[in-house]
Amino acid sequence: MYFRQFHDTTSAAMSYLIADSSTGVAVAIDPTPDPCQGLVLKALLAERGFSLALILLTHTHGGVADDFLAHYPGAGIVVGPQGLRASVGQQVRHGEVLGFGNEVIQVIATPGHTADSLSYLWRDRLFCGDALALGGCPLQTDDEDCDPRSIYDSVVDRLFALPAETLVFPGHDAQGRTVSTIGEERSRNPFFLARSRDAFVTAFRGTRGATGVAPAWQ
What are the pLDDT digits (tens) for 112-159? 888 889 999 999 999 999 999 999 887 776 667 788 999 999 999 999
The secondary structure of residue 158, as a DSSP letter, is: I
Closest CA to 58 of 156, 149, 139, 152: 139
End-to-end CA distance of the chain: 40
**pLDDT tens across 182-197, in order?**
999 999 998 888 789 9
Residue 213 has pLDDT above 90, yes or no: no
- The top-scoring range by mean pLDDT among 21-35, 75-89, 137-151 is 21-35
pLDDT, residue 9, reads 81
The residue type found at 194 is: A
pLDDT, residue 88, reads 63
Closest CA to 19 of 58, 60, 47: 47
Confidence class for position 218, pLDDT limits 50, 70, 90: very low
pTM, whole model, 2 decimals?
0.89
Mean residue pLDDT of the chain comes to: 86
26-30, 51-55, 68-72, 213-217: least confident range: 213-217
Question: What sections of 132-208 are H helices per DSSP?
Answer: 148-153, 182-188, 197-205
